[in-house]
Amino acid sequence: MIEIGVILAVIVAAWFYLRVKKEKQGSVTQSATMQTVTPKPKVMQEQEPEPVKAKPVETKKVSKPAIVIPEDSMLRRHYMQNLTATKECRETPFPEDSTLRRHYLQNLAAQQDKNVISKADSKVAAAEDLIIPASKKTNIPEEAELKRDVIQQLVAETEATMPPRPTDSTLKRHYDTQLMSVVLSKLQASK
């Protein structure tokens, strides 16, 4: 019984589908024939299209953007640090790295006058031309504390004869190396 109902439903659906399909094809052919049969009206005169009028472009004055400082504390801090760094860059155009700055300044001095030696070079030259002063023979005690005190005194005496300690990291390293070599040579001479 159910099988007969299912078969009848399929037949009714197929009939309905075919009927709708035929109606769509018929309406398409009717509209196509109507379009071809209708005559077009004749144009009395050909008219030129009216020119399109363009609106005048309004020019706005371009003003500088207002400086907006961020409200967030972290963004404000970074913004202010960036402004400070930019200002420092304009004031001091040379590099921040000590070695690069020294080379930059040396090149500027060489370009300005080949005979002028910059202050950094004169300090290095003075340190290189350092003459080890003739000193009396020092007795180095056997005890560690006394030995340390004698060596510290030798370092202080030698440093007093040398030019002032430079602030540049590379020059400091060279200065310390030269100071220690002078102290070691004095210690070896005293033996």
What pLDDT is stored for residue 134 in this prediction? 47
Between CA 64 and CA 131 the distance in angstroms is: 63
Rounded CA gap, 166 and 120, in Å? 8
Q: What is the pLDDT of residue 13?
A: 92
Spans of the chain, pLDDT less than 70:
27-63, 65, 92-93, 113-142, 191
Burial class (CB in 10 A: 0-12, 13-18, 19+), 123: buried
